[in-house]
Amino acid sequence: MAGENIDTSEVLVTREQIEEMLTRLSAQINRDYEGRQLIVCGILTGAFIFTSDLVKRLTMPVIIDFMQVSSYVGEISSGNLKIKKDMSYDIEGKDVLIVEDIIDTGRTLELLKQQLLKRNPASLKICTAFDKPARRENDLKPDYNGIVVPDEFIVGYGLDLDGKYRNFDDIRIVRKG
């Protein structure tokens, strides 16, 4: 899509729908972790806005950390997880919540989940803002599922196209012009 005319005018998910999702997910997480400390691990770069908005609504003691991972070379999954930035905290014996922007094929997140389970957390759950099950290539299901989206290329609320459009406060469909 680089170098082509890009149209991002079609809104798929409004800011109001995102607010409702944040309220719903944070209520579920607050119930599940009441009275416990939680390590929230946002996956960079796409989940930074969602992670920020989510943790502001959490009521338990929270440690915030980030990872940056990839299993893709270009648009092809290598099947190997490359950790570009690892967590700063030891998660052994701790409750951990992975916060992701979107789950599509599920390949990278499944590899990350298996890698983190080797570090022996007390619990490991996944929260995603957006879920694209039509593209799933495994049986990965998020524990906290934001909004199911169709198989469209989307941007905004942290999601990007070549680093652009993350700053939209809604989700928009990318169309080639």
Give the CATH number for residue 22. Answer: 3.40.50.2020
Neighbours of 79 (CB within 10 A): 9
pLDDT recorded at residue 56: 98
The Cα 31–Cα 37 span in angstroms is 13
pLDDT recorded at residue 74: 56
Active-site residue identified among 32, 65, 104, 143: 104
pLDDT recorded at residue 2: 52
pLDDT recorded at residue 4: 74
Q: Is 98 inside a domain boundary?
A: yes
C-alpha dist (Å) from residue 87 to 65, 74, 80, 131, 169: 6, 24, 18, 24, 27
pLDDT recorded at residue 132: 95
Q: Is 161 inside a domain boundary?
A: no
Neighbours of 82 (CB within 10 A): 13
Q: Is 3 inside a domain boundary?
A: no
Q: Is 126 inside a domain boundary?
A: yes
| Domains identified in the chain, total number | 1
- Domain, as residue range, for 45: 14-149
Residue 138 carries which side chain, given as an amino acid letter? Answer: N
pLDDT recorded at residue 114: 94
Q: Is 171 inside a domain boundary?
A: no
pLDDT recorded at residue 80: 78
Q: Is 177 inside a domain boundary?
A: no
Residues of the chain short of pLDDT 70, as ranges, are 1-3, 71-79
pLDDT recorded at residue 70: 81
Q: Is 60 inside a domain boundary?
A: yes
The Cα 59–Cα 65 span in angstroms is 17
131 is catalytic: no
Q: What is the pTM of this model?
A: 0.93
Q: Is 168 inside a domain boundary?
A: no
